[in-house]
């Protein structure tokens, strides 16, 4: 049985979503604990999220 | 084909008109629309299918580069086509008549097929292979296309904007005019992006590139949100060029520690060193590749989602549902404005990070 491409796209989105969600959640907790370090945490969060997003897009576009 | 402008006008109209009194109007509108598009079809199902095909065509047309600059439906101006094919051939893209006719230049014939120039005969025949791709010869194309034109316009605009901002500092320390808006951004790029990632010692020589790339991507992303239908940063060739420049600058400025960390990683067992070298070598090319894909995919996805939601208005064709999609488009447009700045920030940030890794001076492990 052939699995349609869209299933793979869905799996990618689930994976990337979980990853970015975890990063965002952890960053929220970290900011709540240490509000004075908000800027640094945000930067680190954005970089990590961008890296995951990059992999997600690469997987989506490479069929 | 409906331009973004007329779509938004129709939407604004929809917001102000009450539903019941215009039900008849709507039917009439739908009919005339379908008629002018495909006169031969009668069935409602087929009409729906045609609208979808039309929307798909509109989106594809918007995303691809073109040889003329379309401002709105029917208002466009041609751009020069520059081909290198047994000598330089320069002619106006109006010769193609929007891809409908064959352009004849010095005894050679050219035709447009899916926004690409192919060499052909006087009648414009294209021989297709089994995948429906033309097998005709493609001349080397250096045309000033819509994207190239927009880059040139933006370059001139940015040159005068920043020159004006810089001028104020020759007489005093207070920024004037546009400088008041630009100064905090420039300082942000310096203090939050360049210095923490590259370091106090080396950051200065990379500032010009970081600022250029930040403002270029940001302004281009914002230009993509105008109804002119510009999609420069959502074009993989342009993001490829930006990533290539970052890659080259990183490799050129790499010091001996940088190269040692790639080919002979210190602090790991000798058996592991060749394995690490292979992984690091792959990583060298993955970094700019991910830069390229991230910007391209983000902007492309943004445009596709926005235009698809506008297209849904025509699929449903109902005055009841349209305002909801109008609201959704508005909210997503605001999100896209955030993404425009965020992608410029992330591209600059990661570029600075790679430069930093190239010039970093290690204490020996």
B272 and B174, same structural domain? yes
Q: Which of B117, B143, B169 is the endpoint of a domain? A: B143
Q: How confident is the model at residue B31 (pLDDT cuts 50, 70, 90)?
A: very low
Residue B3, token pair as written in the block = 């331009």
Burial of B200 (0-12, 13-18, 19+ CB in 10 A): exposed
Domain A5-61 has CATH 3.40.50.1820: no
Contact by Cβ (8 Å): B224, B233: yes
Q: B201 lies in a domain?
A: yes
Alpha helices (H) along chain B: 4-16, 23-37, 44-63, 146-167, 178-188, 195-198, 204-223, 236-253, 256-263, 272-316, 322-359
Contact list in B for residue A47 (CB cut-off 8 A) is 346, 349-350, 353
Return d(Cα B343, Cα B233) in angstroms, integer.
Answer: 10
DSSP annotation of B22 reads: G
Q: B84 lies in a domain?
A: yes
What's the average model confidence in pLDDT over B90-103?
73
Q: How confident is the model at residue B128 (pLDDT cuts 50, 70, 90)?
A: confident
B258 and B136, same structural domain? no
What's the average model confidence in pLDDT over B171-200?
87
B193 and B124, same structural domain? no
B137 and B155, same structural domain? no
Residue B236 touches chain A, beta carbons under 8 Å: no
Q: B241 lies in a domain?
A: yes
B89 and B207, same structural domain? no
Return d(Cα A41, Cα B196) in angstroms, integer.
Answer: 13
Tracing tokens 């360049």 back to the chain, one arrives at B194
B153 and B133, same structural domain? no
pTM, rounded to two decimals: 0.78
Q: Distances from the Cα of B120 to the Cαs of B42, B78, B100, B126, B158, in angstroms?
A: 37, 21, 14, 7, 40
Q: Which residues, 6 or more positions from B22, have their beta carbon under 8 angstroms from its beta carbon?
A: B319
Burial of B229 (0-12, 13-18, 19+ CB in 10 A): buried
Q: How confident is the model at residue B247 (pLDDT cuts 50, 70, 90)?
A: very high
Residue B182, token pair as written in the block = 């630009």
Residue A54 touches chain B, beta carbons under 8 Å: yes
**pLDDT for res B322:** 87
- Cβ pair A46:B297 closer than 8 A: no
B160 and B133, same structural domain? no
B285 and B189, same structural domain? yes
Q: Which residue has the higher pLDDT, B130 or B269?
A: B269
Name the closest residue on chain A to residue B298, using Cα atoms: A57
Return d(Cα B110, Cα B92) in angstroms, integer.
Answer: 12
pLDDT in tens, A11-45: 888 998 999 999 999 999 999 999 999 888 988 88
Indicate the helix (H) or strand (E) that contains A21: helix A5-33
**pLDDT for res A63:** 55
Q: B268 lies in a domain?
A: yes
Q: Which of B125, B143, B161 is the endpoint of a domain? A: B143
Q: Which residues, 6 or more positions from B102, have their beta carbon under 8 angstroms from its beta carbon?
A: B109, B110, B111, B120, B122, B123, B124
Domains in chain B: how many in total? 2
B200 and B335, same structural domain? yes
Residue B350 touches chain A, beta carbons under 8 Å: yes
- How far does A25 lie from chain B, in Å, by closest CA? 19
B192 and B303, same structural domain? yes
Residue B14: name the closest of B308, B318, B332 by CA. Answer: B318
Residue B13: name the closest of B311, B326, B305, B316 by CA. Answer: B326
Above 70 in pLDDT, residue B40? no
What's the average model confidence in pLDDT over B210-236?
89
Residue A57: name the closest of B183, B208, B275, B346 by CA. Answer: B346
Q: Which of B108, B143, B178 is the endpoint of a domain? A: B143
Residue A11 touches chain B, beta carbons under 8 Å: no
B205 and B339, same structural domain? yes
What's the average model confidence in pLDDT over B181-209?
90
- Cβ pair A51:B290 closer than 8 A: yes
Nearest residue, CB atoms, B297 vs list A46, A47, A57: A57
Q: What angle do CA A8, A10, A11 make, to 5 degrees?
A: 65
Indicate the helix (H) or strand (E) that contains A54: helix A38-61
Contact list in B for residue A50 (CB cut-off 8 A) is 294, 346, 349-350
Which residues, listed in sequence order, are joined to residue B111 by a DSSP beta bridge? B118
Q: B88 lies in a domain?
A: yes
Nearest residue, CB atoms, B293 vs list A46, A47, A58: A58
Q: How high is the mean pLDDT of chain B?
A: 79
B232 and B164, same structural domain? yes
Contact by Cβ (8 Å): B59, B4: no
DSSP annotation of B40 reads: T
Q: How confident is the model at residue B363 (pLDDT cuts 50, 70, 90)?
A: low
Domain layout of chain A by residue ranges: 5-61
Q: B333 lies in a domain?
A: yes
Q: Distances from the Cα of B134 to the Cαs of B110, B128, B131, in angstroms?
A: 13, 4, 9
Which residues, listed in sequence order, are joined to residue B70 by a DSSP beta bridge? B76
- Cβ pair A53:B298 closer than 8 A: yes
Residue B214 lies in domain: 147-359
- Cβ pair A60:B345 closer than 8 A: no
- Cβ pair A39:B192 closer than 8 A: yes
Q: B43 lies in a domain?
A: no
Above 80 in pLDDT, residue B295? yes
Residue B213: name the closest of B252, B245, B235, B181 by CA. Answer: B245
Q: B53 lies in a domain?
A: no
Contact by Cβ (8 Å): B299, A62: no
CA dihedral B25, B28, B33, B34 (to 10 degrees): 140
């Amino acid at each position: 049985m052939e699995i349609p491409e869209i299933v793979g796209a869905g799996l990618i989105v689930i994976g990337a979503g979980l990853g970015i969600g975890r990063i965002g959640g952890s960053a929220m907790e970290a900011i709540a604990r240490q509000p004075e370090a908000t800027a640094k945490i945000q930067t680190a969060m954005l970089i990590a999220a961008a890296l995951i997003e990059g992999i997600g897009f690469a997987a989506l576009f490479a069929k | 084909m409906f331009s973004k402008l007329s779509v938004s006008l129709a939407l604004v109209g929809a917001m102000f008109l009450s539903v019941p009194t215009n039900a008849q109007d709507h039917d009439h509108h739908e009919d005339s629309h379908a008629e002018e598009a495909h006169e031969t079809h009668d069935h409602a199902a087929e009409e729906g299918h045609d609208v979808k095909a039309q929307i798909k065509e509109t989106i594809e047309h918007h995303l691809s580069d073109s040889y003329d600059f379309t401002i709105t439906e029917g208002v466009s101006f041609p751009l020069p086509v520059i081909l290198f094919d047994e000598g330089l051939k320069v002619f106006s893209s109006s010769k193609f008549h929007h891809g409908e006719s064959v352009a004849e230049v010095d005894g050679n014939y050219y035709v447009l097929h899916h926004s690409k120039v192919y060499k052909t005969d006087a009648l414009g025949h294209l021989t297709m292979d089994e995948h429906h791709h033309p097998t005709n010869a493609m001349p080397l194309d250096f045309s000033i296309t819509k994207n190239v034109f927009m880059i040139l316009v933006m370059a001139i605009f940015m040159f005068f904007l920043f020159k004006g901002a810089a001028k104020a500092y020759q007489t005093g320390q207070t920024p004037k005019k546009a400088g008041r808006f630009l100064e905090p951004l420039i300082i942000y790029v310096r203090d939050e992006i360049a210095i923490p990632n590259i370091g106090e010692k080396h950051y200065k020589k990379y500032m010009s590139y970081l600022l250029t790339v930040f403002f270029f991507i940001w302004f281009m992303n914002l230009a993509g949100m105008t109804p002119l239908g510009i999609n420069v940063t959502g074009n993989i060739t342009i993001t490829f060029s930006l990533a290539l420049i970052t890659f080259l600058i990183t490799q050129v400025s790499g010091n001996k520690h940088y190269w040692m960390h790639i080919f002979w990683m210190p602090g790991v067992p000798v058996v592991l060193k060749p394995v690490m070298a292979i992984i690091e070598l792959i990583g060298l090319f993955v970094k700019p590749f991910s830069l390229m894909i991230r910007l391209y995919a983000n902007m492309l996805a943004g445009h596709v989602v926005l235009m698809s939601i506008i297209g849904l208005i025509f699929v449903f064709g109902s005055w009841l549902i349209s305002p909801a999609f109008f609201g959704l488009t508005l909210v997503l447009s605001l999100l896209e404005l955030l993404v425009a700045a965020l992608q410029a920030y992330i591209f600059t940030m990661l570029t600075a990070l790679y430069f930093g890794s190239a010039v970093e001076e290690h204490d020996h492990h």
